[in-house]
Amino acid sequence: MSEENHKNSGWSRRDMLKGLGGIPVVGSVWWAGASYAGELKREKQSILETLNINASPPPPTGDMSGDPVRVGIIGFGGRGKDLCRATGFATDAWLGDMKEILAENPNDTRLKDFMAQENLNVKLTAVCDVFDVNAEEALSSFNREGNTIKRYRTYDELLKSGDVDAVIIGTPDHWHAPISIAAAEAGVHVYVEKPMTHNIAETYALREAIERSGIVFTVGHQHRQTQSFLTAQDVIKKNILGHVSLIQVNTNRNDDNGAWQYNIHEKASPQTIDWDEFIGNAEMVPFNKEHFFRWRKWWAYGSGLSGDLMTHDYDRINCVLQMGIPTSVVASGGIYTHRDGRNVPDVMQVNMDFPDFSTGSSQEEGKEKGMTLVYSATLGNQFDRTSLLMGHDASMELGNRLTIYADARSTRYAEMLEAKKMDPNVPIYQYDPAANGVDAVTSATAKYFANKGLLWTYRDGKRVDSTFLHIREWLSCIRNGGTPSCGIKEGFEEAITAHMGGLSYKLGRRIDWDGAQIVPIEGYDLDEVLLSNKEKLV
């Protein structure tokens, strides 16, 4: 364009510069943004390709069509009611409470979640509870259109009634095995709460009974349904963490309910409670309301921290690593936060050793072998400690979400760390089952949100109760065949490990497993030690 033309159009060079001056700015900013985003994406891709983790939720369990499964509930207390709700049966009292809560807090989704829960095509036909109030609550709530429920005074009558195909057992621990064995013998499928058994002898007896019977048997470790477990298994399989030498799992609780100091019902009396039936194979003591409602506080009926809560954490790790029963266990602790007459500890540390186990190695062969699993618990503080698997190459936080951090001294990731492609303080991998995909190299802000559980948590009504999924899996195996994720093998390992913890605590010494049995200790009958109503024997 000539100067003449410029003049004619009225646009000088100066005008052109002023008019179009923004264009190079736009170009630069666009280029800078796109190349930075591209670089982040490439880094993330290269980490994800290095790790190559398959993030996948467990396959859905089979369909629920056909004749309804007739289920009986044995033990309709706190946990029994939860289990029935997960099966589709909420008591009138619970529904009433939830409606009240919802009126006060419209964000409470529990009622909505329950109403949205899939129908499992179950009839709740029988209830057995030794406390009249509990049994009557089941009758008044579940005798309704389409469902008839009958009360049985004893579990034996219930199992032999011919009214049930399957039972859910939510009794105190000392009843778990006797009822499960009787059910197996009657050909009735079993869902039993943890711990699977209360002593060593019945652990073997139950395993035999289940193997003989062919019933579908599940232990209530609903954590197995946590969606991140298959992903965690893949992380271990691909040796992302390197050799895991130490795992920590924890219980932190700081309230009366968490310390098993449950409410004592006002109607509790020798007239409303069948005391002999409650005591069962435990040592007979005079009627005692506290023993009945707060049974978890005594070894005679409960199993302390090692049986009650450690079992969940042990099973979560066993589900990922399949490391089985520890070679040795050393436990310590005491009654330090609730000195109320209980005889089970409320602070407890259990060290479980697996000297021959390895998750894999990134270093020279033979250098690494063996692992310790530490369970650490207090009922006097509720600081949130995460479950952590510590490997030579990376650490993995395991929960609903799964987060992996590279170790600053890792062999496998040395080059990427050196090149600043990985930062030990920023997760190299994060999997959230509620998210659409996976994320790596999350920013500090994203980390802040993730740590608060704000990213991709179950909202929008998509939250599913893991107990529901666990019961669904059990019912699917009854209907369609298949093996439950926490069956007799897993239950056996869980129970033996729990008993080793309890024995070590009570005897103040190391307890060994020789591959077939807990190594006997001269001068002691180990089952007597476990059941003894003394806090510690030594």
Q: Which residues bind another protein (CB under 8 A)?
A: 8-11, 15, 18-23, 25-26, 29-30, 32-34, 36-38, 40-41, 437, 439, 444-446, 448-450, 452, 454-457, 459-460, 462
Residue closer to another protein (CB basis): 7 or 237: 7
Residue closer to another protein (CB basis): 28 or 322: 28
- The enclosing H or E element of 350 equals strand 347-354
d(CA 248, CA 260): 24
Least CB distance from residue 29 to another protein, whole Å?
5
Residue closer to another protein (CB basis): 33 or 334: 33
Least CB distance from residue 35 to another protein, whole Å?
9
Least CB distance from residue 456 to another protein, whole Å?
7
Residue closer to another protein (CB basis): 18 or 509: 18
Sheet holding 394-398, edge to edge: 438-439, 429-431, 402-406, 394-398, 387-391, 244-252, 371-378, 347-354, 328-334, 511-512
Phi-psi region of 526 (alpha: psi -120 to 50; beta: other; left: phi over 0): alpha
Residue closer to another protein (CB basis): 285 or 454: 454
- H runs (alpha helix) in 52-104: 78-87, 92-104
Sheet holding 122-128, edge to edge: 150-151, 122-128, 69-74, 166-169, 189-192, 217-219
Under 8 Å between Cβ of 101 and 108: yes
d(CA 175, CA 187): 18
Least CB distance from residue 128 to another protein, whole Å?
43
Least CB distance from residue 15 to another protein, whole Å?
7
User: 319-354 burial string, b = 16+ CB within 10 Å, else e?
Assistant: bbbebbbbbbbbbebebebbeeebbbbbbbbbbbbb
Least CB distance from residue 463 to another protein, whole Å?
13
d(CA 525, CA 479): 42
Least CB distance from residue 21 to another protein, whole Å?
6
Under 8 Å between Cβ of 108 and 94: no
CA angle (514, 201, 179) in 5-degree steps: 140
Least CB distance from residue 158 to another protein, whole Å?
44
d(CA 472, CA 254): 32
Residue closer to another protein (CB basis): 57 or 520: 57
Residue closer to another protein (CB basis): 221 or 421: 421
Residue closer to another protein (CB basis): 366 or 437: 437
Residue closer to another protein (CB basis): 5 or 119: 5
- Kind of pairing, strands 244-252 and 371-378? parallel
Least CB distance from residue 390 to another protein, whole Å?
27
Q: Structure tokens of 448?
A: 């802040």
d(CA 321, CA 336): 33
Least CB distance from residue 23 to another protein, whole Å?
7
Least CB distance from residue 60 to another protein, whole Å?
19
Peptide bond into 195 cis (omega under 30): yes
Q: Residue 2 burial (CB < 10 Å; 0-12/13-18/19+)?
A: exposed
Residue closer to another protein (CB basis): 34 or 519: 34
Q: Which residues contact 249 (CB under 8 A, 6 or more apart)?
A: 310, 313, 314, 316, 317, 373, 374, 375, 376, 387
Task: Report how far apart, in Å, the C-alpha atoms of 467 and of each of 84, 87, 257, 323, 491 are.
Answer: 10, 9, 20, 24, 16
* Length of the chain in terms of residues written: 538
Residue closer to another protein (CB basis): 102 or 139: 102
